[in-house]
A and B are shown apart, each in its own frame.
Chain A
Amino acid sequence: MLLSKEEVLHVANLARLSVEPSELEEMAGTLSRVLEYIDLLNELDTESVSPTSQVVEQHTVWRSDVIQDSLSAELATQNGPQVVSAMFVVPKILDGGGQ
Chain B
Amino acid sequence: MSDNYEVVIGLEVHVELKTASKLFCGCANLFGQDPNTHTCPVCLGMPGALPVLNRDAVALATRAALALSCTVHSFSKFDRKQYFYPDLPKAYQISQYDQPLATHGQVTIRTEAGPRAIGIERIHLEEDAGKLNHIGQRLGDATGSLVDLNRAGVPLIEIVSQPEMHSPEEARLYLTELRTVLSYLDISDLRMEEGSMRCDANVSLRPLSYTGSLADLPRVEIKNVNSFRNVQRGIEHEIIRQRELLEQGIRIVKETRGFDDAAGTTYSQRSKEAANDYRYFPEPDLPPLVLDAVWLEDQKNQMPSLPEELRHQLAAEGVLPRDVDVLVQDRALYGFWRQTVAIYPDVKLVTNWLLSDYSRHMNAKGLSFDNPGVSAPHLAELLALIEDGTLSGKMAKEVLESMFATGESPQVVVKRLGLSQITDHEAIRLIVSQIVEANPAVVADFLGGKEKALAFLVGQVMKATKGQAKPDLVNALLREVIASHV
Contacts and interface: CB of A to CB of B under 8 A. Distances in A.
Interface of A: 10, 14, 16, 53-56, 58-73, 76-77, 84-93, 95-99
A59 to B, nearest CB: 4
25 contacts: A14-B277, A16-B84, A54-B282, A59-B288, A59-B289, A62-B52, A63-B52, A63-B53, A68-B26, A70-B37, A70-B38, A72-B37, A73-B37, A76-B37, A76-B44, A86-B36, A87-B147, A90-B147, A92-B143, A92-B145, A93-B85, A96-B256, A98-B83, A99-B81, A99-B129
Contacts of B149: 76, 88
Interface in B83-104: 83-88, 93
Contact of B55 (A63, A76, A91): A63
Contacts of A77: 36
Contact of B36 (A55, A62, A73, A89): A73
A96 B129 contact: no
Given A16-B84, A76-B39, A87-B36, A59 B28 contact: no
B284 A93 contact: no
Contacts of A60: 287-291
A95 B83 CA distance: 13
A71 B40 CA distance: 5
A16 B37 CA distance: 30
A63 B129 contact: no
Contact of A99 (B38, B83, B145): B83
Contact of A96 (B20, B34, B57, B258): B258
Contacts of A84: 146
A55 B284 contact: yes
B245 to A, nearest CB: 21
Nearest to A16: B84
A63 B134 CA distance: 35
Interface of B: 19-21, 25-28, 34-41, 44, 52-58, 77, 81, 83-88, 93, 129, 132-134, 139-140, 142-149, 256, 258, 269-270, 277, 279, 282, 284, 286-291
A66 B26 contact: yes
Contacts of B54: 62-63, 65
A70 B52 contact: no
Contact of B86 (A10, A54, A68, A90): A90
Contact of B287 (A16, A54, A70, A99): A54
Contact of B145 (A10, A85, A90): A90
A96 B39 contact: no
A50 B28 CA distance: 40
A60, A85, A99: residue with the most chain B Cβ atoms closer than 10 Å = A99
A52 B132 CA distance: 37
Given A70-B39, A93-B142, A96-B258, A61 B85 contact: no
A51 B57 CA distance: 28
Contacts of A90: 86, 132, 144-147
A96 B139 contact: yes
Contacts of B84: 16, 97
B85 A88 contact: no
Given A76-B39, A97-B83, A92 B144 contact: yes
Nearest to B256: A96
Contacts of B57: 65
A71 to B, nearest CB: 6
B287 A56 contact: yes
Contact of A61 (B25, B53, B81, B258): B53
Contacts of A99: 81, 83, 85, 88, 93, 129
B133 A87 contact: yes
A72 B256 CA distance: 36
B257 to A, nearest CB: 10
Nearest to A90: B86
Nearest to B223: A98
Nearest to B81: A99
Contacts of A58: 287
Nearest to A60: B290
Contacts of A72: 37
Given A67-B21, A70-B39, A92-B142, A62 B85 contact: no
Contacts of A56: 287
Given A56-B287, A86-B35, A96-B140, 8 more contacts: A61-B286, A62-B53, A62-B58, A68-B40, A71-B41, A73-B37, A88-B36, A98-B83
A98 B139 CA distance: 12
Given A60-B290, A93-B145, A67 B52 contact: no
Contact of B146 (A16, A63, A65, A89): A89
Contacts of A96: 139-140, 256, 258, 269-270
A88 B146 contact: yes
Contact of B27 (A62, A70, A86): A70
Contacts of A62: 52-55, 58, 289
B52 A61 contact: yes
A65 B282 contact: no
B426 to A, nearest CB: 68
Contacts of B129: 98-99
Contacts of A65: 19-21, 54-57
Contacts of B290: 59-60
B77, B270, B288, B290: residue with the most chain A Cβ atoms closer than 10 Å = B288
A53 B144 contact: no
